[in-house]
Chains A and B, each alone.
Chain A
Amino acid sequence: MKATTQCEHTEKIIGSLLSGESPSAVLARHETHLAHCPVCRTVIEQLPGDLEQWQNAEVPLLPLKSLLPQPVSEPVHYRSIVMRSVVTAAAAIVAGLLLSRFFVPEPIPELQNIAQDYALLVTTDNSFPVEFFNE
């Protein structure tokens, strides 16, 4: 284990920075120590930036319309919209599958007649060339 991991200055430096003390003031107070302690140097180099970035983090805002009172008093939850679309899409696929499974097309009269004629021909006339239909 490195000696620096036991440094008792680290917590003091972090504490001062978290309390809002300026990095330059902290730097000045611990100058001698910082010259030879890599852990405390990492803290002074990175923590002020991390803190500032966290404090100034911008949060994307929702469109005004989605926050105004709705005619229905239910809030429009973004995730509900996504879930609803997913459920609708899934329902559409299931319905499609069911339809394709059970849907029997209406017989078309002309085709039915041709089929009947063909059946009659095949069963009554043995000389009928079957290949004719296969072309």
Chain B
Amino acid sequence: MTDDRQLAEALRQKDEKAFSIFVTRFQPMVARVIFKITGDMNDTNDLTQDVFLTVWEQVEDFRGEAALTTWVYQLATNKALNHLKWEKRRQFFSLSYWGSDTKNTSLPKSLNDAPGRLIREDDSNAITAALDQLPGQQKAAFVLSKSEGLSNPEIATILGLSVSAVESLNFRAKQNLTRLLKTYYQSKTT
């Protein structure tokens, strides 16, 4: 069952063996994308479970003409982006938002300030820290392009945007990252 179309058909038939093949094949990709967008391992585990539950329950919604991979990317990216929106709202209404200096737009020197964010256990990775400052869609476009190696038309399908909108997202992501990284490396030099 190596062919995507066969696999999708077996999933539609609620074939549990096909589903374990599907999970084995797609879990690394789903977890990687969600983790790079949310930056949080606990959220990644919960959202990864959500993605596969959605696949199991809504496989009928998958249209055969799109690649199975694209559909899975779409589910993973959407869940991660929705989660970021929800998280942002939650942070806005939490007391700590008003009492702390988290609104600071410069790159944090210590990246250890958010519990549960495993990737920040060391502050050695400037990309992760800089990406954390970007709006969700810019972050998603950058992850899909630079980490997953997808083309702009593929990213456009996944994000439900036009190709020019994706080009613009990538442009702004790169511009913002450059600015943030410049500040970061300057602070490391002085």
Q: Are B32 and A46 in contact (CB under 8 A)?
A: no
With an 8 Å Cβ cutoff, the count of chain A residues facing the other chain is 38
Contact among A2, A39, A76 with B49 in the assembled complex (CB-CB below 8 Å): A76
Q: Are A47 and B126 in contact (CB under 8 A)?
A: yes
Q: Are B189 and A77 in contact (CB under 8 A)?
A: no
Among A51-59, A88-96, A105-113, which stretch is in contact with chain B?
A51-59
User: A18 to chain B: which residues have CB within 8 Å?
Assistant: 146, 174, 177-178, 181
User: A99 to chain B: which residues have CB within 8 Å?
Assistant: none
B31 within 8 A of A: yes
User: B16 to chain A: which residues have CB within 8 Å?
Assistant: 68-69
Select from chain A the residue with minimum beta-carbon distance to B48: A62
A104 within 8 A of B: no
Contact among B28, B46, B126 with A46 in the assembled complex (CB-CB below 8 Å): B126
B96 within 8 A of A: no
Among A7-15, A21-29, A116-124, A127-135, which stretch is in contact with chain B?
A7-15
Q: Are B44 and A59 in contact (CB under 8 A)?
A: yes
The 8 A CB mask of A40-67 against B (1 = contact, 0 = none) is 0111001100110111010111101011
Number of A-B contacts (CB under 8 A): 110
Interface secondary structure of A, over-half rule: helix
Interface centre among A19, A41, A53, A61 (most CB of B within 10 A): A61
CB distance from A58 to the nearest CB of B (A): 8
CB distance from B50 to the nearest CB of A (A): 6
The CA-CA distance from A47 to B52 in the complex, in Å, is: 35
User: A43 to chain B: which residues have CB within 8 Å?
Assistant: 181-182, 185
Select from chain B the residue with minimum beta-carbon distance to A2: B190
A55 and B49 contact, Cβ closer than 8 Å, known pairs A2-B190, A18-B174: no
B168 within 8 A of A: no
B42 within 8 A of A: yes
CB distance from A98 to the nearest CB of B (A): 33
Contact among B19, B46, B125 with A77 in the assembled complex (CB-CB below 8 Å): B46
User: A2 to chain B: which residues have CB within 8 Å?
Assistant: 190
Q: Are A78 and B126 in contact (CB under 8 A)?
A: no
Give residues of chain B (141-174) contacting chain A, Cβ–Cβ below 8 Å. 146-147, 174
CB distance from B57 to the nearest CB of A (A): 7
Q: Are B188 and A42 in contact (CB under 8 A)?
A: yes
Q: Are A5 and B190 in contact (CB under 8 A)?
A: yes
A69 and B185 contact, Cβ closer than 8 Å, known pairs A50-B126, A59-B32, A77-B46: no
- For the complex of A and B, the 7 pairs showing the least CB-CB separation, nearest first, are A54-B127, A75-B49, A59-B31, A42-B189, A67-B52, A14-B178, A59-B35
27 contacts between A and B (CB under 8 A): A2-B190, A5-B186, A5-B190, A11-B178, A11-B179, A15-B178, A18-B177, A19-B174, A20-B146, A43-B182, A47-B181, A47-B185, A50-B124, A53-B124, A53-B127, A54-B147, A55-B146, A57-B35, A59-B35, A61-B27, A61-B28, A61-B31, A62-B45, A66-B49, A68-B19, A75-B53, A77-B46
Given contacts A4-B186, A14-B185, 4 further A-B contacts (CB under 8 A): A47-B181, A54-B147, A59-B28, A60-B31
